[in-house]
């Protein structure tokens, strides 16, 4: 794969832009192979250890619950776009929920670091 990448890069550098499709095809195949192997081995490792599975499900469930809470807190308003289209109320609500989720995760991470730092200082 590395040799093929070097060959295609040399071809592109020499002005042969017709090979861009081939390079992208190889890149997509490589990405698909990597993604499938990562997901497969992650699932195998999760299902082989029940403690890890329980911990992962707690984290995913907490994240999903926080996402649902942020979705219900967000408001959606139809908004005209610069290009002449319109952002729907549902789309606006999803964007607001994403922003609220981002802010909540920042606060949680900051609070966790602060708590950990204070706990270490006390010891």
Length of the chain: 123
pLDDT of residue 1: 67
Taking a C-beta distance cutoff of 8 angstroms, is the pair 71, 97 a contact? yes
Q: Is the pTM of this model over 0.85?
A: no
Interatomic CA distance for residues 114 and 37, integer angstroms:
37
pLDDT at 74 over 80: yes
Structure tokens at 108: 């949680």
Please compute the mean of the pLDDT values over residues 33-55 and round it to a whole number: 93
Q: Measuring CA to CA, which residue among 31, 21, 29, 23 is closest to residue 4?
A: 23
Percent of the chain surpassing pLDDT 90:
62
Give the largest CA-CA distance in the chain. Answer: 65
Percent of the chain surpassing pLDDT 70:
96
């Amino acid at each position: 794969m590395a040799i093929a990448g070097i060959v295609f890069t040399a071809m592109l550098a020499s002005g042969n832009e017709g090979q861009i499709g081939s390079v992208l095809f190889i890149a997509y195949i490589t990405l698909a192979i990597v993604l499938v192997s990562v997901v497969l081995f992650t699932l195998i490792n999760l299902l082989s250890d029940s403690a890890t599975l329980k911990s992962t499900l707690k984290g995913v469930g907490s994240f999903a619950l926080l996402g649902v809470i942020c979705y219900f807190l967000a408001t959606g308003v139809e908004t005209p776009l610069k290009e002449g289209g319109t952002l729907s109320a549902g789309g606006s609500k999803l964007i607001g929920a994403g922003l609220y989720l981002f802010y909540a995760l920042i606060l949680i991470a900051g609070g966790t670091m602060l708590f950990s730092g204070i706990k270490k200082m006390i010891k």
